[in-house]
Amino acid sequence: MQGVLPSQAIEGLIADGILTADPPIIPEQIQPASLDLRLGHVAHRVRASFLPGRGKKVADRLTEFSMHRVDLSEGAVLEKGCVYLVPLMERLTLPLGLRAVANAKSSTGRLDLLTRVVTDDGTEFDRIPDGYDGPLYAEICPRSFSVLVRPGMRLNQVRFRQGDAVLDDDALRALHADQPLVDGEAVIDAGLGFSVDLRPAKGDLVGYRAKPHTGVIDLDLIGAYPAQEFWEDIRTTEGRIILDPGAFYILVSREAVTIPPAYAAEMAPYLAMVGEFRVHYAGFFDPGFGHSDAGGAGARGVLEVRCHEAPFVLEHGQVVGRLLYERMSEEPQRLYGREIASNYQGQGLKLAKHFR
């Protein structure tokens, strides 16, 4: 069947040897519509981000770009502003007709930790074509905070797709009419529009901005760090803020969204012409996110925003991204927020799980 493969089908890929790993994949890696990928035991500090290109292997290109190796076995700090390439524990042997796409996990994106999957013969980040047989690597560039990492940490995730399962606008409107996807008017144009909330129902806190000089974050520690040591509150009563070039912000969508169990979604950038900023590093939304079947009642989308060259005025209700909905090949046996531990079910404006 065409669509995004659910958890039980991912288990089948493991059983069939399409997904292999050393050490073997553990059940905790399997999500409703994706597989978490684990860091290996060494990181290469590289001069710059790169793609190997057709006919070339990542390992061979590392001889050109690697500056030194970092042993992760006892834990090591990946420093802010540096670029690292880390071999992952997982390997793929994809059959024809089955392709994969990777993305950062939610907590990874909320730390402004740019991480992308690289493959041999790769000409794109995070895109793995059908028929690929080879290793996987994570490119990691901490943008706001230096981080302490260890082997086995899961910063990226990968989805598997058969055929083209993305809903066009007519199908998306029909789905919204049958199962409301947002708690209000749905703006549907090449996906479901996401806008920013700068007029909260209570108070004037609309987001957070990363502080420029902070300590290291150990990615294994949950609720360990006082938020005020790493973030500045962003407050407004005017319904608008000015984004500073180079600054990183955590904001929240105005819409509370729902992902029905038979669907998955991915955040895609909005038109570049609407402003000099990027929204959302972590783009996967699992089946059951915000859905009543999984204990949700709609959930806001957290917006990870980085401003580029010029200061930019962001106003309440401005569309900043879009959700592309895809059919699952079958409904997952485990849903986000129900069978698995889900840190962000029913979320509003919320920092990564490492902060208190």
Taking only the tens of pLDDT, the chain with its 356 residues reads 799 999 999 999 999 999 999 999 999 999 999 999 999 999 999 999 999 999 999 999 999 999 999 999 999 999 999 999 999 999 999 999 999 999 999 889 899 999 999 999 999 999 999 999 999 999 999 999 999 999 999 999 999 999 998 999 999 999 999 999 998 889 999 899 889 999 999 999 999 999 999 999 999 999 999 999 999 999 999 999 999 998 999 999 999 999 999 999 998 865 554 555 666 655 789 998 887 654 445 788 888 888 888 898 999 999 888 899 999 999 998 776 545 545 544 457 889 999 99
Domain boundary among 140, 162, 184: 162
Tell me: do 318 and 174 sit in the same domain.
Answer: yes
Q: Read off the CATH number of the domain in which 113 is found.
A: 2.70.40.10
Instruction: Tell me how far apart the alpha carbons of residues 267 and 214 are, in angstroms, rounded to a whole number.
Output: 29
Q: What is the pLDDT of residue 294?
A: 42
| Residue 336 domain flag | no
Q: What is the pLDDT of residue 348?
A: 78
| Residue 198 domain flag | yes
Residue 71 structural domain: 3-162
Residues near 94 by beta carbon (within 8 Å), at least 6 away in sequence: 18, 100, 128, 129, 130, 131, 132, 133
Domain boundary among 107, 134, 162: 162
Burial 105-140 (b: 16+ CB within 10 A, else e): bbbbbbbbbbbbbbbbebeeebebeeebebbbbbbb
Q: What is the pLDDT of residue 273?
A: 46
Q: pTM of the prediction?
A: 0.93
| Residue 348 domain flag | no
Cis omega (within 30 of 0) for bond into 212:
no
Phi (first) and psi of residue 265, to 5 degrees: -145, 160
Is residue 343 within 8 Å of residue 353, measured between CB atoms?
A: yes
Tell me: do 7 and 154 sit in the same domain.
Answer: yes
**Secondary element (H or E) of residue 315:** strand 312-315
